[in-house]
């Protein structure tokens, strides 16, 4: 994709600040997103997807990594992965920042976050000044969409705009790794393999406990 046009970024930010939902591309699949500061917009994601509100959403951050500290408590292991992997096809779960609440947390005390290597997403988050609450742009239980057309067919009626960047680069969901406990646990196998994560974290192996559905 060419460099995102400022007008496209401005329009997306305008929609998000108005409490509306948008469909956007990531490196793995297309996602549905809201300004995490709007509880009503975050709740609307659950309604659009027909997703159980007890299942947390992830947060998408931009280039300013310091913004993470407002919402999450980065463990040493989490910092190691972020520094080693950079923006990519991972979702890391850590304790959320005490005192911060959102429907995206589903009443829990942890938060999953991503930094996607897609300029339009990074530009939108940076311009918005807050992370996006997001998940794959599919009806719960249906295949995750890898094109804007697929995403729009499933959830376009609930969103104010769809950003089309062509087919996603990875085509599979991000790897979800939980670092909120004593030992790392992979909750969803995806684009980054367990062996690479174990090597970065300096552990022999990482337990895989499949429990994340999109």
Look at residue 121 and tell me whether its pLDDT is greater than 70: yes
Look at residue 213 and tell me whether its pLDDT is greater than 80: no
Comparison of pLDDT for 169 and 200, the residue scoring more: 200
Find all residues with CB under 8 Å of 148, minimum gap 6, and list them: 23, 25, 30, 162, 163, 164, 165, 166
Average pLDDT over residues 186-195: 92
From start to end of 96-143, where are the E strands? 110-114, 132-136
Torsion of CA 182, 188, 189, 195, to 10 degrees: -10
Share of the chain above pLDDT 90, in %: 88
In the CATH scheme, what is the code of domain 6-208?
3.90.870.10
Give pLDDT tens digits for 80-105.
999 999 999 999 999 999 999 999 99
| Domain ranges across the chain | 6-208
Average pLDDT over residues 190-205: 93
Mean pLDDT score of the chain: 93
- The pLDDT of residue 107: 96
Look at residue 210 and tell me whether its pLDDT is greater than 80: no
Look at residue 212 and tell me whether its pLDDT is greater than 70: no
From start to end of 123-167, where are the E strands? 132-136, 161-162
Residue 48: which of 173, 176, 170, 136 has the closest Cα?
Answer: 136
pTM metric for this prediction: 0.92
């Amino acid at each position: 994709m060419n460099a995102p046009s400022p007008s496209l970024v401005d329009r997306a930010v305008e929609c998000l600040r108005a409490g509306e939902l948008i469909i956007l591309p990531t490196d793995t699949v297309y996602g549905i997103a809201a300004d995490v500061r709007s509880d009503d917009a975050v709740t609307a994601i659950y309604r659009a997807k027909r997703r159980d509100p007890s299942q947390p959403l992830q947060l998408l951050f931009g280039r300013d990594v310091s913004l993470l500290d407002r919402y999450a408590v980065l463990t040493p292991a989490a910092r190691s992965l972020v520094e080693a992997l950079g923006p990519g096809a991972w979702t890391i779960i850590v304790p959320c920042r005490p005192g911060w609440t959102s429907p995206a947390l589903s009443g829990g005390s942890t938060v999953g976050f991503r930094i996607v290597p897609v300029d339009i997403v990074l530009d939108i988050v940076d311009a918005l000044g807050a992370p996006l609450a997001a998940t794959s742009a599919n009806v719960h239980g249906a295949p995750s969409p890898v094109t804007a057309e697929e995403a729009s067919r499933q959830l376009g009626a609930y969103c104010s705009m769809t950003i089309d960047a062509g087919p996603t680069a990875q085509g599979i969901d991000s790897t979800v790794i939980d670092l909120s406990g004593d030992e790392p646990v992979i909750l969803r196998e995806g684009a980054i393999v367990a062996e690479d994560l174990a090597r970065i974290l300096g552990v022999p192996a990482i337990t895989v406990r499949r429990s994340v559905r999109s």
